[in-house]
Amino acid sequence: MERPAWAPPGIDISMPSVSRIYDYYLGGSHNFEVDRQAARKAMEHMPGLPKVMQANRAFMRRAVRYAMAHGVTQFLDIGSGIPTFGNVHEVALRAGDEARVMYVDHDPVAVAHSKAVLDGCDRAGVITADLRKPQDILGSPEVGALLDLDRPTALLLVAVLHFVEDAYDPCAAVAELRDGLAPGSLIVLTHASYEGIPVPPEQAGRTVGVYKDIRNPLIMRSRDEIARFFEGYDMVEPGLVPMPHWRPDTAPEEEDPYSFSGFAGVGRKR
């Protein structure tokens, strides 16, 4: 298997990665054949998966604009993935020069490509760290140099928590991150769920099985389970809803049925 020039040394290009699969769904070019094979296998059962990812990105952009409009100009994007057009720093900086964005991911390809994209941009940075170890993020010198965590910050957890199994206690990790942020901070979150998927649960379950087979289990949670991540926050209207229903730019009824797979919400720390 030929290693692309952009692939960092030491990357195992024989194992699929969820961030590179996501990149493929979004039409990106920073993925390997093994990622494309896994994505196509998942799409055999849920052909609208790219629409789910597009809905995630569209919600993220609306939430970033909401944050900027309400005076929250700092962004901590955990599980940020591989940058594609319309990423957080592009949206935020378009809304105001004061924006600062720190990307966090544990995939070396995502981090390497983020560094390349951000070269020369002093208002955004990227670090390698894992959501399951909040103190590695909050205590990072790079985070401390770019963001002032004594001021309100938007914590972005977009399409990442459903890759954290209950054994790792994702609620505790999210609470630890919340406790490290100033009052008035925001949490911006999306999460996969069987609720809203326009195919029978057993069919969607076969897509979930593909992720399990590549050792990146996809944990589908109910709306009530997802709501637990917002403890300590006051929900911003309209609450925890399917992605197209969160402060839409266009009529939700015009959206693809797959766009309603899972939930999105924004909360403000008390």
For 228, the domain range is 18-269
Which pLDDT score is estimated for 9?
75
pLDDT along the chain (270 residues), means of 10: 70 86 93 94 97 97 98 98 90 97 94 91 97 98 98 98 97 98 98 97 97 94 98 98 97 96 98
CA 19 to CA 129: how far, in whole Å? 14
Question: Does a structural domain hold residue 133?
Answer: yes
Q: How many CB atoms lie within 10 A of CB 109?
A: 24
Question: Does a structural domain hold residue 1?
Answer: no
Which pLDDT score is estimated for 1?
56
Question: Does a structural domain hold residue 2?
Answer: no
Helix (H, G, I), strand (E, B) or coil at 33: helix
Which pLDDT score is estimated for 2?
65
CATH number of the domain where residue 80 is located: 3.40.50.150
Question: Does a structural domain hold residue 5?
Answer: no
- Residue 12 tokens read as 């195992």
User: Helix 33-45 crosses helix 18-25 at what angle (to 10 degrees)?
Assistant: 70
Which pLDDT score is estimated for 11?
73
Question: Does a structural domain hold residue 52?
Answer: yes
Domain count, the chain: 1
- Residue 163 tokens read as 């890759």
Question: Does a structural domain hold residue 161?
Answer: yes
